[in-house]
Structure 1
Amino acid sequence: MSKPVQIIDLFSGPGGLGEGFSSCKRNDGSRAYEIAVSIEKDRAAHKTLLLRAFLRQFDEFPPEYYSWIAGRHECPDWKQLYPRQWSTAENEALCAELGRSDTADMLSERIRETKRMAGNGTLLIGGPPCQAYSLAGRSRNAGIRNYKPKDDDRHFLYREYCRVLNELHPAVFVMENVKGMLSSSVEGLAIFEQVVSDLEHAGPGYKLLSLSADLQSDDKPEPKDFVIRAEEYGVPQARHRVIIVGIRLDIAANFTPRLRRQNTDVHVKDMLTGLPRLRSGLSKRDDEYAWHDAVISATEKIGQITREYPGDNIVGFQEELKRVEKQLLATSRAGRSSHLRNPVSKRLEPELAAFLDDPKLFGVSCHETRGHMPTDIARYIYASCFARAEKLSPRSHQFPDILAPNHKNWKTGKFNDRFRVQVGVAPASTVTSHISKDGHFFIHPDPTQCRSLTVREAARLQTFPDNYHFMGNRTEQFVQVGNAVPPFLAWQIAQVLLPIFDNL
């Protein structure tokens, strides 16, 4: 039996990349990869990372874990119950800030330990923080008085990744980042060109590969070739990210790993199947009766829309609105949270269904709705009914005036998708950390629920297994989910890279 490949995971977040690689098995059922060290500075994300590191110490998760996430009792004291496994997890998942000298010294010692244990069989993974590269982040930075990109350390944290490459000399590395990295620059210097050069010349030298472009082995990838469109690989989300794979030059000649594209998209409604229906909450004076009255008022207002309806299928829209009214009482009694869970959709591809599922799971966590203002609930009902009828989410000019928010830029087109429904018969839009703010970009496709997505639903769209619990408060959980790499995509990457290690 081959030893697991030893992974050092930088800028780990809640562990999306690490989960995908850790879930990859060899044909004999043994674990193909094992995380030696993971590092994350955010405390809530680190707690999630630590919990998952603890659970990976078991062939089968402890029964106390399943009953806890099903809501049957408070979180156990894992250190007291399983001291050896908890200690191992604490040694693996570290809460530290990369770029600091003390972290660098500590990590250098761990790198030496990993090399002594694994020799050639090491892998470096991670995604340096993307706020400075993303289009949204650059827009925010432009509004900051006296902001100077050259003084923003986030532009250059990838160099910490390169520093580890120079020390570890892994057989392979995987770096993930946002598409905005391709167009980001500092004082005229194109960031991506510098990143590529630094990665190629790190350590003994690396050949950089695209996992998605149809290139010959001798072709040098263009910047756009490193962009992976997650929806093409079984992820129910139009998430387009830069993923660079590097193979050490002394072993690179015989390998051209490629991800296998899926023939069909995975739809939002199929991904959310099995999670119980919930009503939204009201931001003030919330109870099922007040909610019932608020939704009745909203449907009556929406029912006045006839000539002003901007779509092509007003009959379908009106039928959806009637369905909301009929199911109103049942929805109001559904409650705002639930740990119940039914089987995942049979329409999912078997590999994805198996990745999400856990036969021992009898309840899920993080499935609780937010409170909304009654005016927003009306917009949610309208938008989701519109999406059911027209198969697309309405833009601002497609909202009737009686539902228009009091925003100065509502009609300017600057924020024309301020309220965005995740259309049930298509992949979701990109799940980002912005979901932690107000949920307007992530409206549930079922108009009878008239709400934004829960953390659990967002995690489903990110392909986290249903037994994956996120620590922290709800805002922190949303941020973790939005910032993560989809684990199912990471699992596929792990599979196509495994032959490299098996042939070392």
Structure 2
Amino acid sequence: MAADSIRIRRDKLARLQAGGKARTLEICSGCGGLSLGLMAAGFELSAHIEMDPEAAESYAINFRGDHALDSAWARPRDMERSTAAQLVSELGLATSAADSFDVLAAGLPCQAFARIGRSKLRSVAGEEDAFQRDPRASLYRRFLQFVEDTQPLAIIIENVPDILNFGGHNVPEEISETLEQRGYRVGYTILNAAYFGVPQVRERLFIVALANVLDETPRFPTPTHFLNLPKGYEGSRRVALKHVDHDCRFFHPIPTPDRRLTDAVGAAEALGDLPRISEHANNPSVIRKRRLTDLIPYRETSSALPAYASAMRNWPGFETTDATDGHLVRLTPRDFPIFYRMRSGDDYPMARAIAEKMFADALEAHGLSRARKDSKAWCELRASIVPPYDPDKFPNKWWKLDPRKPSRTLTAHMGKDTYSHIHYDSAQRRTVSVREAARLQSFPDGFRFAGAMNAAFRQIGNAVPPLLGLAVAQVVMAQLQQAGSRKKETKRRAA
């Protein structure tokens, strides 16, 4: 390892010891889920790189401080076409790229790594291994160049667990080996958001690397909430962990929650105080005219506000009082009666069975029980009631929230449809709103999203849950502070 790199990192540690704030560069920041956690843990959000214009605008709206919305700081950027030196120059920083940042974080694009993304790539390319040639799969190598250029004291990388088994290759192990060679102690593991107060069962892979000058071995947060993982998640873990064995030096055992902990946050606790939305069914013109930024008062409740809802209303810097925005839902009138009849936990095969029963009743009511199945009247009536998707091919396309349990994983696909998250309140007979999706992802109510409804859903689904990001960031911050205190004490004794 070059002497210059050691000197740069020691100078950064000395700066933190003197009371300086840990300056963070976040790559592929999205709208800022991880950023919220970093900021709440005490990190300074010095710069970010995000190529999606709407996500970059959301980031600027929420974190810009004294920066103008049209400033260089707020501009969208592509990590493949940007360098740390260019970024520092455009931002007008007085320091070099190597001297400007103490922490480097990234939520690298996961489409090529996630199994759902791999299937889509196969269907588009018509080739079994198309996901391995997706250029997004090699962005982690570009990220390693940013490590070289910025010489951070701490590194945080987030991705889907399937990155552990990328065509039989353990990518985090490769990243860890490379970082070790560059003077870092590295660890990686899988964390479930529900274990850290997020009302969502979301598994994510985290890599943490700490510069050797800190003399700290990476640690990961201890769960604060208990949950028995739903059926299917253990199987997904096994597939992801197939190539993680005793030879993987950097893997940390997955944290498991103590049964004595507080139960994981359920959907009703997370959403119960938000406004009831019924306009989509009885007056859809209201929804069509409503803007994402329109404020609607919270629901009045006779009981005390749940701790989670209170936290979302009172997140420092994003507090709300009487109302919040984001109350847009999709207008899908054919399916409202199905949503009403579904029970909590029902998926698409059950929804389809409900629709078939409704169709049979409608045929009887319209006197079409003996009509030919290819007749215009029969076909039109069926299309008005029964969704066209094959339940064998789309078993998880629909799902109705269980008010007592955390939600399933939110994905970027919510930008196209939200049937994966149907509201548990049958009387409202709808999918979740933008604000409800944000709540399930642990975005505070004062966080604003740029763009229209679909863009907001996509940003939310792509984001790191802020509370999960906070849990990781707090541990990293504690280790930075501990290293700084230890170095201070060593100097004091030497004097």
Please give the TM-score of this superposition, normalised by the length of structure 2: 0.71
Any unmatched runs of 5+ in structure 1? Answer: 25-31, 58-84, 211-225, 289-336
Looking at structure 1, the residues matched to 209 and 310 of structure 2 have their Cα atoms a distance apart, in angstroms, of: 26
Matched, 1:94 2:75: yes
Q: In the alignment, which residue of structure 1 is the partner of 2:240?
A: none
Q: In the alignment, which residue of structure 2 is the partner of 1:9?
A: 26
After superposition, give the CA deviation of every residue in 1:188-215 in whole Å (9 maximum; x if it has no partner): 65444433333433xx3222224xxxxx
Equivalent of 2:122 in 138, 142, 145: 142
After superposition, give the CA deviation of every residue in 1:465-493 in whole Å (9 maximum; x if it has no partner): 11000000111011001100111121222
Q: Aligned to 2:116, what secondary structure does the other structure show? A: helix
Equivalent of 2:176 in 187, 196, 212: 196
Matched to 1:243, the amino acid is: F
| RMSD (CA atoms) | 3.2
Matched to 1:247, the amino acid is: L
Matches within 5 A, 1:31-430: 32-54=42-64, 57=65, 85-87=66-68, 90-100=71-81, 102-103=82-83, 105-107=85-87, 109=89, 113=93, 122-145=102-125, 147=127, 148-185=130-167, 189-201=169-181, 204-210=182-188, 226-253=189-216, 256-262=219-225, 263=261, 264-279=263-278, 281=280, 286=284, 339-342=296-299, 346-348=305-307, 352=311, 356=315, 361-374=321-334, 376-383=335-342, 386-387=343-344, 392-394=345-347, 396-397=349-350, 399-400=353-354, 401-403=356-358, 405-407=386-388, 409-410=390-391, 412=392, 414-430=393-409
Matched to 1:23, the amino acid is: A
Say if 1:380 and 1:10 are closer, same or farther in 2 by CA, change over 3 A.
same
Matched to 1:341, the amino acid is: Y
After superposition, give the CA deviation of every residue in 1:401-436 in whole Å (9 maximum; x if it has no partner): 3258353622x2x32233201111100001111112
Say if 1:244 and 1:274 are closer, same or farther in 2 by CA, change over 3 A.
same
Say if 1:275 and 1:252 are closer, same or farther in 2 by CA, change over 3 A.
same
Q: In the alignment, which residue of structure 2 is the partner of 1:27?
A: none
Q: Aligned to 1:488, what secondary structure does the other structure show? A: helix
Matched to 1:138, the amino acid is: R
Say if 1:43 and 1:466 are closer, same or farther in 2 by CA, change over 3 A.
same
The alpha carbon displacement at 1:184 in A equals: 1.4
Say if 1:257 and 1:115 are closer, same or farther in 2 by CA, change over 3 A.
farther
Matched to 2:204, the amino acid is: R
After superposition, give the CA deviation of every residue in 1:359-390 in whole Å (9 maximum; x if it has no partner): 5533212112221132x11111111xx22xxx
Looking at structure 1, the residues matched to 429 and 390 of structure 2 have their Cα atoms a distance apart, in angstroms, of: 24
Looking at structure 2, the residues matched to 429 and 174 of structure 1 have their Cα atoms a distance apart, in angstroms, of: 25
Say if 1:338 and 1:467 are closer, same or farther in 2 by CA, change over 3 A.
closer
Any unmatched runs of 5+ in structure 2? Answer: 1-17, 226-260, 287-293, 360-385, 485-495
The alpha carbon displacement at 1:4 in A equals: 1.5
Q: Aligned to 2:67, what secondary structure does the other structure show? A: helix
The alpha carbon displacement at 1:252 in A equals: 3.6
Looking at structure 1, the residues matched to 465 and 457 of structure 2 have their Cα atoms a distance apart, in angstroms, of: 14
Say if 1:117 and 1:351 are closer, same or farther in 2 by CA, change over 3 A.
farther
Say if 1:381 and 1:37 are closer, same or farther in 2 by CA, change over 3 A.
same
Q: In the alignment, which residue of structure 1 is the partner of 2:229?
A: none
Q: Aligned to 2:49, what secondary structure does the other structure show? A: strand
Looking at structure 1, the residues matched to 131 and 217 of structure 2 have their Cα atoms a distance apart, in angstroms, of: 40
Residue pair 1:115, 1:168 contacting (<8 A) in 2 also:
no
Residue pair 2:185, 2:211 contacting (<8 A) in 1 also:
yes
Say if 1:261 and 1:118 are closer, same or farther in 2 by CA, change over 3 A.
farther
Q: Aligned to 2:274, what secondary structure does the other structure show? A: coil
Identity of aligned residues (%): 25
Looking at structure 2, the residues matched to 92 and 209 of structure 1 have their Cα atoms a distance apart, in angstroms, of: 31
Residue pair 2:80, 2:142 contacting (<8 A) in 1 also:
yes
Matched to 1:181, the amino acid is: I
The alpha carbon displacement at 1:173 in A equals: 0.7
Matched to 2:120, the amino acid is: R
Matched to 2:110, the amino acid is: C
Matched to 1:183, the amino acid is: N
Residue pair 2:185, 2:218 contacting (<8 A) in 1 also:
no
Equivalent of 1:434 in 410, 413, 428: 413
Matched to 2:206, the amino acid is: I
Aligned residues: 392
Matched, 1:443 2:442: no
Looking at structure 1, the residues matched to 53 and 100 of structure 2 have their Cα atoms a distance apart, in angstroms, of: 32
Q: In the alignment, which residue of structure 1 is the partner of 2:238?
A: none
The alpha carbon displacement at 1:287 in A equals: 5.4
Q: In the alignment, which residue of structure 2 is the partner of 1:65?
A: none
Looking at structure 2, the residues matched to 362 and 118 of structure 1 have their Cα atoms a distance apart, in angstroms, of: 45
The alpha carbon displacement at 1:111 in A equals: 10
The alpha carbon displacement at 1:89 in A equals: 8.4
Q: Aligned to 2:105, what secondary structure does the other structure show? A: strand
Out of 356-365 and 1-10, give the one that drifted further.
Answer: 356-365
Say if 1:13 and 1:114 are closer, same or farther in 2 by CA, change over 3 A.
farther
Q: Aligned to 2:26, what secondary structure does the other structure show? A: strand
Spell out structure 1 runs of 4+ moving beyond 6 A: none
After superposition, give the CA deviation of every residue in 1:256-306 in whole Å (9 maximum; x if it has no partner): 4533432211011111122110115269x9459xxxxxxxxxxxxxxxxxx
Matched to 2:107, the amino acid is: G
Matched to 1:409, the amino acid is: D
Residue pair 1:455, 1:474 contacting (<8 A) in 2 also:
yes
The alpha carbon displacement at 1:341 in A equals: 2.2
Say if 1:179 and 1:351 are closer, same or farther in 2 by CA, change over 3 A.
farther
Q: Aligned to 1:136, what secondary structure does the other structure show? A: helix
Matched to 1:168, the amino acid is: T
Matched, 1:474 2:453: yes
Looking at structure 1, the residues matched to 120 and 73 of structure 2 have their Cα atoms a distance apart, in angstroms, of: 35
